[in-house]
């Protein structure tokens, strides 16, 4: 299992002042932040990042939402990082997310759901590279 994943604190959570709380929860869950940046994702970037969902009915809404305000993007490190982060954020729909997960605590709904997490080691690597150059990523502690 890989030791890196890609995470985003989405525009809903940033706009409602949850950035600090989500970063606290990230550190409390044992992740090392290896890179991080506040960025305004363009519509074109959102379309490309979520291209795998382009046939889904929520695609346009997702692209508009993700380009609606600042997002905090991060490369996170922990053993088995992809699964560990998915466990920390909870299910896509906050009404189905386990108690104490970031989405259960801070998400508004299934679309505006506070955070992103990669779904595989392969996608984690691609998603980190989508937002960060090698030089921006702090060397591994593991």
Residues engaged in binding ligand IDP (CB under 6 A) = 53, 58, 61-62, 92, 110-111, 113, 116, 119
Q: Which does 101 bind (CB under 5 to 8 A by kind): ligand IDP, Mg ion, none?
A: none
Write the DSSP assignment of 65-120 as a string of letters. Answer: HHTSS-EEEEEEE-TTHHHHHHHHH--SSTTTSPTTSHHHHH--SSSS-SEEE-SS
DSSP 135: G
Residue 116: which of Mg ion, ligand IDP, none does it interact with, CB under 5 to 8 A by kind? Answer: ligand IDP
- Choose the catalytic residue: 65, 107, 116, 117: 116
* Min CB(38)–ligand IDP separation in Å: 19
Q: Which two three-digit tokens encode residue 85?
A: 């982060």
Active site residue 116: yes
Q: Which one of ligand IDP, Mg ion, none interacts with residue 92, CB within 5 to 8 A by kind?
A: ligand IDP
Residue numbers of the site for Mg ion (CB under 5 A)? 119
């Amino acid at each position: 299992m890989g030791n890196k994943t890609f995470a985003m604190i989405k525009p809903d959570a940033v706009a409602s002042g949850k950035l600090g709380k989500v970063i606290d929860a990230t550190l409390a869950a044992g992740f090392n932040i290896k890179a991080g940046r506040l960025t305004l994702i363009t519509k074109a970037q959102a379309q490309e990042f979520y291209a795998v969902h382009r046939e889904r009915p929520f695609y346009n809404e997702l692209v508009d939402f993700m380009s609606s305000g600042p997002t905090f993007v991060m490369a996170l490190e922990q053993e088995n990082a992809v699964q560990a982060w998915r466990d920390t954020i909870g299910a896509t729909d906050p009404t189905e997310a386990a108690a104490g997960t970031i989405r259960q605590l801070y998400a508004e709904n299934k679309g505006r759901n506070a955070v992103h997490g990669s779904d595989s080691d392969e996608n984690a690597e691609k998603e980190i590279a989508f937002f960060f150059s090698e030089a921006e990523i702090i060397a591994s502690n593991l």
